Structures are given as structure tokens and as C-alpha cells.
Amino acid sequence: MSRWAEHLSQAVSLSPARDTACFLHLSVRLHPEDRRLTEAEWSEIAHRLARTAGLAPRADGGPCRWIAVRRQRDRLHLIAGLIREDGSLPRTSRRLSHELAQQARIMETEFGLVPARPPAGRQEQVIADPLVTAEETPAQIAEKIRQLTDETDGTLAEAWRLAEQAAHRLAERPEIYALRTARQMKWAARRLYGLLQGLDAAAEDLANPPALLRNAVVGTTRTRCPSPQTRRTR
């Protein structure tokens, strides 16, 4: 493992900014009903994903450094440094997630694996009920917001606590990709906390509006302009 870590960490020294967050981690897992793949098939899957991600394009003399690790028979992890051998960045598509998913669908067919998703025609269309109806009063809407932001059992507050605690735990991990994810989780926790504060303030305004605005309504004021015949000219 130390040899692999050294192989990947050398990509950081090639980066002009010594960017320690320039790593990509892809994970592949087979369906429980899939057959056992051979080592050659796993190798083909890893190389296809690397090419799709722009890490090792065909006929490329300076690809990114990457490794594929399989510690369980049904899972594969691909870890790559996003710095090429010449110190430049790889050409990564903005639709990388879509292209990787598309490549996965192709390999499922070629290797005879269980599709990750059912055919589009068999998917049931689910229409969610509205969270806020036109009949609800501002006070009722404020109560729904407070249920989300409640520090004891609010869903949004729980997401904030999860992101904050995950960032702390991941920062203690030795893996480089864990440190990168820790920074992402820390930033997500900050944004969630700001969202919580904004929603709390909105709920307070709805539940306790200022006295001068409590009975005020939005109206339309029309200004009558004189017709051309009645305008005075000097």
C-alpha cells in the first residue's frame, strides 16, 4: 500500500501549486446476482473507466497516474492523481458522471451483468405531494420550516450535524481522498448552517410579522395618464 501511495503522491510534486486535493476516486460494485468476473475482465473494466475519465486516453504519452485496487471479489476502487506526467491537467469532461454511467451500462451488456437500473418503460412515475398548499397560513408554513430546522430532531439540522461530524472524522483519516472529502464536507456543513439560519429567520418573520405589516396586502396602483387630446403644450 505504501508503494501505491508513493506512486500516486508523486503527482502532487508535478502540480505547480502542490495541490493535495487533485485526486479522483471511483468505486465499482457488482450486483449480488452477478457472476464472478475474471482478473482479465476486472482489468478491462478498470482501463475503460480510466479512459472514460480522461486519465489514460489511447495513444497518450503522458497519462495521469492511477491504480485499481480490489480487496473484495465484487468491488473495485480506482484512485488517480489528476495531474499528468508533464504537470498539466487532464481533459475532463463536464459531463463526466453521465459518461461514466453510460460506460457502465455498456459494460453491463457486454459482460452479461445485471443492469443497475430497470428499463425506462418499467419505472413507475412517482409524483410527490406538495409540501406547502395554498390553504396553509403563514404561521402553519413557519411551523413546517421549524420542524426541519429543529436542533433536536429536525431533518435539515441532522444533515448539518452529520456533515460537520463527518468532516471531523474524515480529517483524521490517513487516506488522501478522505482528506479531500473532509474539506468538501466542512464546506457543506458551513452552507447548511447558513441555510438553517436563513430558514429560522424566515420562520420567525412568518410567525411574528411586524405590527405595521400584519394586515397589509399586496395591491396594484394604477396611475392615470392624460390622453394626448388633454395634454397642454406651451
pLDDT confidence band for 234 (50 / 70 / 90): very low
182 lies in a domain?
yes
Quote the domain boundaries for residue 78: 2-116
Q: Are residues 69 and 174 in the same domain?
A: no
Specify whether 73 is located in the same domain as 148.
no
The residue among 116, 148, 163 that closes a domain is: 116
Q: Is 164 exposed, middle or buried (0-12, 13-18, 19+ CB in 10 A)?
A: middle
Q: Residue 216 falls within a domain, yes or no?
A: no
Q: Are residues 173 and 112 part of one domain? A: no
Residue 227 is assigned to a structural domain of this protein: no
Taking the C-alpha atoms of residue 28 and residue 26, their distance in angstroms, rounded to an integer, is: 7
Residues 23 and 101 in one domain: yes
Mean of pLDDT values over 132-149: 81
Among the listed ranges 36-45, 48-57, 180-189, 215-224, which one has the minimum average pLDDT value?
A: 215-224
Q: How many whole angstroms separate alpha carbon 186 and alpha carbon 84? A: 28
Picking from 116, 147, 167, the residue at the C-terminal end of a domain is 116
Is 81 contained in some domain? yes
* Same domain assignment for residues 10 and 71: yes
Domain count, the chain: 2
Question: Do residues 7 and 83 both lie within one domain?
Answer: yes
User: Which residue did the predictor score with more confidence, 38 or 66?
Assistant: 38
Query: In this model, does residue 1 exceed pLDDT 50?
Result: no
Does the structure show a pLDDT above 90 at 107?
Answer: yes
pLDDT digits (tens, 9 = 90+) for 40-57: 999 999 999 988 888 877
Q: Is residue 131 part of a domain?
A: no
Residue 219 placed within a domain: no
Domain harbouring 25, CATH code: 3.30.300
Within this chain, do residues 91 and 158 fall inside the same structural domain, yes or no?
A: no
**130 inside domain:** no
Give the start-end residues of each E strand in the chain.
Answer: 23-29, 64-72, 75-84
Distance between CA 199 and CA 146 in Å, rounded?
Answer: 8
- Regarding pTM above 0.85, the answer is no
Same domain as 142, residue 107 = no
23 part of a folded domain: yes
166-170, 206-210, 212-216: range with lowest mean pLDDT: 212-216
